[in-house]
Amino acid sequence: MEMAEDWPEPIVRVQTLADDGAVPERYIKPPSERPDLNPVTALATGSLPVVDLAGLSGGAEERLATMLAVSGACRDWGFFQVVNHGVSPELMEGMREVWRSFFQLPMAEKQAYANSPKTFEGYGSRLGVKKGAILDWGDYFFLQLSPHSIRNYDKWPVLPASLRAMTEAYGEELEKLCGVIKKVLSATLGLDEGFLHRAFGEAGACVRVNYYPKCPQPDLTLGLSPHSDPGGMTVLLTDHNVKGLQVRKGDDDWITVEPVPGALIVNIGDQIQVLTNATYKSVEHRVVVNAATERLSVAFFFNPNDDLPIQPAAELVTPEAPPLYKRLTFKEYKLFMRMLGPGGKSHVDLVKST
């Protein structure tokens, strides 16, 4: 599967459409895929399970309770919020503000970092390269963080002046947090704490800053279509003023997430679903947009090494629970999202064993 060098059509920045009176046809979803934003008929907002990671530093009983809370959230939701996670409120707010300032720069400043489907790094406005695809109502900025050797500083904005240092500092703290969560997930599978560390190899990390401009007809479109994340795990820094993330619960229900102040949202990615032989599953989620105001979020993706084969762990495979997925490297797997765009759970279905 070869990645395209260029986008199939000229890129339109969604931010330039925000003040129009109607959503262009390219962004209008089929009726069955449109969000229900009616406050009477839509499902109520809900809080994901909240885990206080301070319990990991407590006594044996408190540590066990914390680990069981993580395990339960992964099995029941695929998502959970963490508090006392070690990332300072000042750093979290600094990331929100510095990237919000970037998206308010003149368009010419942002266009200097326009991305291509070859690497996705830089300023973007679409996922997938299918010509004529229905697009999502959002712009983004994507950067590689780890390993340090793959950073392309030509794609890192020079303005605002504090953006680079802020993003590097945030990335370092999030990698530490993901290291803690890896150990917890490994232990709750009944394996040694180093299992996921070995399975990931020299892990990769990247960040996508999502910018969802206000939308004249939010009931016709989505900021990001339903998908599960292709990597290992995701840690999301949400907009604390505007809700938008929705998580699928059951077959048809979409729950609008109510962020807990100061929390970060963690979700399981497809690679952990494969490694755990579906003990822990990635879950579909999507983003709705707002008629009155913009929304910004920062997604930190923590992934296995590109070149390591990923397959169900031998320790989790038995005659009663045979391997559900084929062996594939993350480099091969992530091309599904880059070429096809968001597609519910269809990407992980492509690697199911026959």
The whole-chain average pLDDT of the chain stands at 94
pLDDT at 247: 96
Cα(69)–Cα(77) distance, integer angstroms: 11
Q: What percent of the chain has pLDDT over 90?
A: 85
Cβ-proximal residues to 221 (8 Å cutoff; 6+ apart), any chain: 23, 27, 28, 29, 34, 136, 137, 215, 289
pLDDT at 258: 93
Please state at what angle helix 89-103 crosses helix 163-188, rounded to 10 degrees: 130
pLDDT digits (tens, 9 = 90+) for 51-110: 999 999 999 999 999 999 999 999 999 999 999 999 999 999 999 999 999 999 999 999
pLDDT digits (tens, 9 = 90+) for 242-252: 999 999 987 77
Contact criterion met (CB below 8 Å) for 10 and 132 = no
Cα(342)–Cα(136) distance, integer angstroms: 10
pLDDT digits (tens, 9 = 90+) for 164-191: 999 999 999 999 999 999 999 999 999 9
| Banded pLDDT at 4 (limits 50, 70, 90) | confident
Cα(181)–Cα(288) distance, integer angstroms: 28
pLDDT at 42: 62
Cα(210)–Cα(96) distance, integer angstroms: 11
Sheet holding 79-83, edge to edge: 50-52, 79-83, 264-268, 233-237, 295-303, 204-212, 139-146, 122-124
pLDDT at 40 over 80: no
pLDDT at 1: 55
Helices H / strands E in the chain, number of each = 9, 14
Mean pLDDT across 262-283: 97
pLDDT at 252: 73
The helix or strand, by DSSP H or E, that contains position 253, with its residue range, turns out to be strand 253-256
pLDDT at 44: 61
Q: Report the half-sphere exposure of 88 (CA within 13 A, side-chain side).
A: 7
What phi and psi, each to the nearest 5 degrees, are found at residue 150? -100, 0
Quick one: which of 259, 258, 202, 208 has its CA closest to 230? 208
